[in-house]
Amino acid sequence: MNGTLKEWRFLIKSIINEADKIDANFIVCPPSAGLNIVYDEIKNYASPVKLGAQDVYFKESGAYTGDISIAMLKSLGVQYIIVGHSERREYHHEKSIDISLKAKQCMKNNIVPIICIGENLVDYEKGNTIAMLDIQLEESLHDLNPENAQEIIIAYEPIWAIGSGKTPSIKSIEEVYRFLRSYLVDKYKDIGYDIPLLYGGSATPDNAEKYLAEKNIAGFLVGGASLKAEMFLELGKKVANVTNI
For 131, left (φ over 0), alpha (ψ -120 to 50), or beta? alpha
Decide: 183 and 244 in contact? Cβ < 8 Å.
no
What CA–CA distance (Å, rounded) separates 237 from 245? 13
Task: Reply yes or no on whether 157 is catalytic.
Answer: yes
How many CB atoms lie under 10 A from the CB of residue 153? 22
What CA–CA distance (Å, rounded) separates 38 from 44? 10
Residues composing the chain? 245
Provide the 3-class DSSP secondary structure of residue 222.
Answer: coil
How many CB atoms lie under 10 A from the CB of residue 224? 13
- Report the half-sphere exposure of 165 (CA within 13 A, side-chain side): 0
The stretches of the chain forming alpha helices (DSSP H) are 5-19, 35-44, 70-75, 86-91, 96-108, 121-125, 129-140, 170-188, 208-212, 229-243
Q: Of these residues, 85, 94, 119, 151, which one is catalytic?
A: 85
Q: Of these residues, 41, 151, 157, 234, which one is catalytic?
A: 157
Could you list the active site residues?
A: 85, 157
